[in-house]
Amino acid sequence: MSIYYLDRPDFAPIVLNYPGRPLYSGASLALEAKAEYHVISGGETEDLITVYGTGRFTHATILFGGKFGWADMANIGIEIWIDDSKRAVWSLQQFELFNALALFNKAYYSGADGWYYPDVLNPVIGTIGGRWNNTDKAFEEYYVYLNFIAEFVDSFVMKGFNKTSTDVTFTVRALVGYYP
Amino acid sequence: MKRVLFVVETPENIRIITYDYGKMEGKEYVIDLEKEFTPEERIKEIIAELENKKYDTRILKQFLKKRGKKLRRGALRHG
């Protein structure tokens, strides 16, 4: 493991961080955090995964279950909170936009029920698959992933929100690591 | 920092993960929120145990302060 200190003058001008905080290369003791089939009722926002300590989030795959068409997809999603401040809010529609609507368009214009997978992937954030109900023009299962590093010194929280009128099931598997 | 401590909370459980780099020894405590009637008390016991092992337990104490009263068993926790 390599350790660099940011108070070195040659590092300080190029790193956006406060001086003295050590940067570690790699995530020590990577571990999985998961929340399985957690139901969030309509109109609710709930914590799915909370990590306390100093570390980094590196990856997550999230499964949304229920029945949601394009309009509802704006009202279901996740929030990322780092060190007690909200850093990102992504609805399923926004996940689609990161992926050029590749999954939704493929399912919607297929005209048939079934599992669909996008032909293109955004390497950082995107959709990876969904089960489409063509009668209702809605997804019944929907997978997204987050593939970036988010560092935290105090806490990392992933919340699920559901502003629709029906229940949505959230399953999250995330990888986090902490600094020694 | 030779001893580290990490807390992961999900709707099902609370995991308290510790690692002593000096001894190359780790331990994980899992508090099942469906079965544990008094998670707050259990965390206090773990804090005492870790303090005996010279861990810095500030993270756990902050966790208790933030979440302690909201930790309830099973469905009660989510109203």
pLDDT digits (tens, 9 = 90+) for A51-85: 998 888 989 999 999 999 999 999 999 999 999 99
Q: Are B42 and B54 in contact (CB under 8 A)?
A: no
pLDDT at B35: 85
Q: Which residue has the higher pLDDT, B23 or B52?
A: B52
**Residue A171 covered by a domain:** yes
CATH number at residue A137: 2.60.120
**Residue A131 covered by a domain:** yes
- From the candidates A44, A52, A58, which should be mutated to test the interface with B, based on the most B CB atoms within 10 A? A52
**In this predicted structure, which of A25-29, B29-33, B52-56 has the lowest mean pLDDT?**
A25-29
**Residue B24 covered by a domain:** yes
Q: CB A29 to CB B59 under 8 A?
A: no
**Residue B79 covered by a domain:** no
pLDDT-above-70 percentage for chain A: 82
Q: Which residue has the higher pLDDT, A22 or A133?
A: A133
Distance of alpha carbon A103 from its chain centroid, rounded?
A: 17
Q: What are phi and psi of A75, to 5 degrees?
A: -110, 10
- Among chain A residues, CA nearest to B20: A180
When CB atoms are compared, the residue of B1, B6, B11 closest to A55 is B6
Tally the domains of chain B. 1
A/B interface, count of CB pairs below 8 Å: 57
**Residue A154 covered by a domain:** yes
- In tens, the pLDDT along A117-146 reads 999 999 999 999 999 999 999 999 999 999
**Residue A70 covered by a domain:** yes
Please count the residues of chain B: 79
Residue A158 has pLDDT above 70, yes or no: yes
What is the per-residue DSSP string for A84-152? TEEEEEEEHHHHHHHTTTHHHHHHHTT-S-EEE--SS--SSEEEEEEEEETTTTEEEEEEEEE---EEE
Residues of B in contact with A56 (CB under 8 A): none
Residues spanned by the domain of B59: 3-74
| B58 in A contact zone (CB under 8 Å) | no
Q: Which amino acid is at B8?
A: V
Q: What average pLDDT does range A152-169 have in this prediction?
A: 94
**Residue A142 covered by a domain:** yes
Tally the domains of chain A. 1
Token pair recorded at residue B50: 């870790």
When CB atoms are compared, the residue of B10, B21, B62 closest to A180 is B21
| A8 in B contact zone (CB under 8 Å) | no
- Among chain B residues, CA nearest to A48: B10
